[in-house]
Amino acid sequence: MPASKSNQSSSKESAPTQSRKRGEKVTPGNLFVLTGPSGVGKNTIIDRVLSEAGGLVESVSVTTRNQRDGERDGVEYFFTDRESFEKMRAHNHFIESAEFAGNYYGTPRNWVEQRLKEGLDVVLVIEVQGAKQVKMHFPDAILIFLAPPSIHELEKRLRGRATEPEDVIAMRLDKAGQELKERDVFHYEVVNEDVDQAVNNVLAIVYAERCRIKP
Ligand code: 5GP
């Protein structure tokens, strides 16, 4: 059963912001989407945001891509094959899904909707096609674009990470160029030049959205 990345590791656990009495009506949580080109630092930023902002949990996606060294099934991703993914998608298992650099990725519906109902804020760390689907189906979702200081800096980071072969890096850079043109889809843009500053900016967005008076 899907679980949040934050629930898998005690260091990432975040307590709800306010305690609730039994039977009290729960205000649904906010749905945040963090998008940005591959290699921009989305996971680094969100890990720090999760450890600081109580009441925020990250959804674990399903993917068909190969497991990288150090990745654990059910923690970074649920790893599966294309046939199983297609079946899950046909059964409406995902709130959004996309093909990225030759692999499928999808966000489990039940887990996310349940957490929101419980009043927790949920963050999805996904690419731009998925972000657009979320925007269509969840009009109240808050979309944040994490941008690199420049495309050259992004290329340096992708190569420095050394998790993919050259052809995959080229595919991801090409995709990054397209994603950077889609900033208009988002409500906020945070440039990841300095990690501390980027973490503070994402936290500021989370806190501000919690205070926003909703219609
Ligand atoms: P990676 O293979 O580097 O882990 O992820 C490739 C891209 O897919 C990243 O931009 C990542 O944020 C995105 N991604 C991860 N999970 C999902 C998902 O469930 N849906 C979509 N649309 N994109 C995802």
Identify the structural domains of the chain with CATH numbers, from first to last.
Answer: 27-211 (3.40.50.300)
Query: Which residue has the CA at smallest separation from atom 2 of ligand 1?
Result: 65
* CA of 123 relative to ligand 1 center, distance in Å: 13
Do 40 and 147 contact (CB within 8 A), yes or no? yes
- For residue range 91-123, list pLDDT tens digits in order: 999 999 999 989 999 999 999 999 999 999 999
Q: Is the pTM of this model over 0.75?
A: yes
Do 7 and 13 contact (CB within 8 A), yes or no? yes
Grade residue 164 by pLDDT with cuts at 50, 70 and 90. confident
Do 96 and 134 contact (CB within 8 A), yes or no? yes
Query: Tell me, what's the pLDDT at 5?
Result: 62
Q: Which residues line ligand 1 (CB under 6 A)?
A: 38, 42, 61, 65, 96, 98, 100, 105-107, 125-127, 129-130
Do 110 and 94 contact (CB within 8 A), yes or no? no
Q: Which of 5, 33, 60, 63 has most ligand 1 atoms within 8 Å of its beta carbon, as the pocket-test mutant? A: 63
| β-strand partners of 97 | 106
